[in-house]
């Protein structure tokens, strides 16, 4: 999860097709949900949910609707100055 709190949050990302810089940026990450089962019974309050690695970051151009994957960044944080 990488919500950016810096300001002014200027993005270096551009559409590779039309050069537009109005984009939808999507970061997809792994999530693991676990529970404990003791003697065959689901234990109360053992539900756990953890976010893991970034799988990929994708962009969609709001101008021409082209979609692509950003390949040289580890997370969407890498798109912002």
Residues 26/61, Cβ–Cβ less than 8 Å: no
Between residues 2 and 60, which has the closer beta carbon with respect to Zn ion?
Answer: 60
Give, as ranges, the residues between 21 and 80 that touch Zn ion (CB under 5 A). 61, 63-64, 66
Question: C-beta of 18: minimal distance to Zn ion in Å?
Answer: 3
Binding of Zn ion at residue 17 (CB under 5 A)? yes
Judge whether 61 and 18 are in contact, CB under 8 Å: yes
Q: How many CB atoms lie within 10 A of CB 59?
A: 21
Q: Least Å distance between CB 60 and Zn ion?
A: 9
Phi, psi of 11 (to 5 degrees): -100, 140
- Which residues contact Zn ion (rule: CB under 5 A)? 15, 17-18, 20, 61, 63-64, 66
């Amino acid at each position: 999860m990488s919500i950016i709190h810096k300001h002014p949050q200027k993005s270096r990302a551009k559409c590779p097709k039309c050069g537009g810089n109005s984009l939808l940026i999507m970061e997809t990450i792994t999530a693991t949900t676990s529970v404990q089962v003791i003697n065959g019974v689901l234990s109360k309050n053992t539900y756990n949910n953890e976010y893991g690695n970034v799988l990929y970051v994708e962009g969609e151009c709001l101008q021409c609707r082209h979609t692509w994957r950003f390949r040289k960044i580890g997370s969407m944080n890498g798109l912002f100055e």
